[in-house]
Amino acid sequence: MKTTLDLPDDLVQRMKIRAVQERRPLKRLVAELLSQSLNAASLPAQATALPRSEHIVLNKRGFPVIRCGTNAPASRMTAEELIATEQQALLEEDMQRAGISL
């Protein structure tokens, strides 16, 4: 189902960067983060980490926060490089959906 959300620009930028870092579509990342957050809301209050990974923790509001090392590739990239990488990933995804090979 499609929907429209009015989100803060900085949040959208952070999600886009994370999607690029994880090399997956933005909509899949957003759906997973929302799902994890909703699932976490039903967990006991003392639960602070998701079982799949020690790198994913829940903040005070129950939203997942992914902690990555300081040596992560994206930590050495400029904002322009991250955006270019994201745009390339989106182009490749669009081309794949259209059945066009690069």
Interacting residues of 73 by C-beta distance below 8 A, sequence separation 6+: 21
The pairing of beta strand 56-58 with beta strand 64-66: antiparallel
Tell me: the pLDDT tens digits for 69-97? 778 787 788 889 988 988 998 999 989 88
* Banded model confidence at residue 26, pLDDT cuts 50, 70, 90: very high
55, 67 contact by CB (below 8 A)? yes
Q: What is the DSSP letter of 89?
A: H
pLDDT at 64 over 80: no
* Segment holding 64, helix H or strand E: strand 64-66
SS3 of 23, please?
A: coil
* Banded model confidence at residue 1, pLDDT cuts 50, 70, 90: confident
Residue with tokens 């499609």: 2
